[in-house]
Amino acid sequence: MNTDSVKIFIHSRLFAGIIVGVSIVVIVIFVFEAGILVGYHEAQFSSQWGENYEQNFGGNTGISRVLGMPDGHGPNPHGTFGKILSVSPSAIVIINDQQAEQKILLGTTTIIRSQKNTMGTSSLAAGEYAVVLGEPNMQGEIVAGLIRVIPIPAGMKIP
């Protein structure tokens, strides 16, 4: 093959079609692999979160207690409400109305409020009541986005 025939082939419709075809195949493979990666990540998250579910939501009493709660509802992995048992710079532990302890992770983006006031982590204290909203991590802990410390109205029955 001489250089003129190579130049003619490179500028031909056949060569352009081959390039387009190969490009489409590469894109399809890339999308397929991305789907596999996303699916693997979701399966890994579900598996690890599920392995810690009983420990985080059922304590030592077992998953049957959690699933057999009187109101028929399981705990919400995106939030909780209850009494603050302990406070550290990076986490708090809350006990909810089903007597299950939940670890709440505090981050730099966690907003802590009481009434209209924004508070710091050091303002949280054991014995206070709080509502927590956040995202579950793979260990079944809640990564707090918002913690609202609330006063308990007189006469309200809270464990």
Of 57-66, 78-87, 150-159, the least confident: 57-66
Query: Regarding predicted confidence, which is higher, 15 or 47?
Result: 15
pTM value is 0.53
Report whether 128 contacts 37 (CB < 8 A).
no
Query: Regarding predicted confidence, which is higher, 73 or 116?
Result: 116
Q: What is the mean pLDDT of residues 130-147?
A: 86
As a whole number, the mean pLDDT across the chain is: 79
Cα→Cα distances 50→43, 57, 78, 141, Å: 10, 11, 14, 11
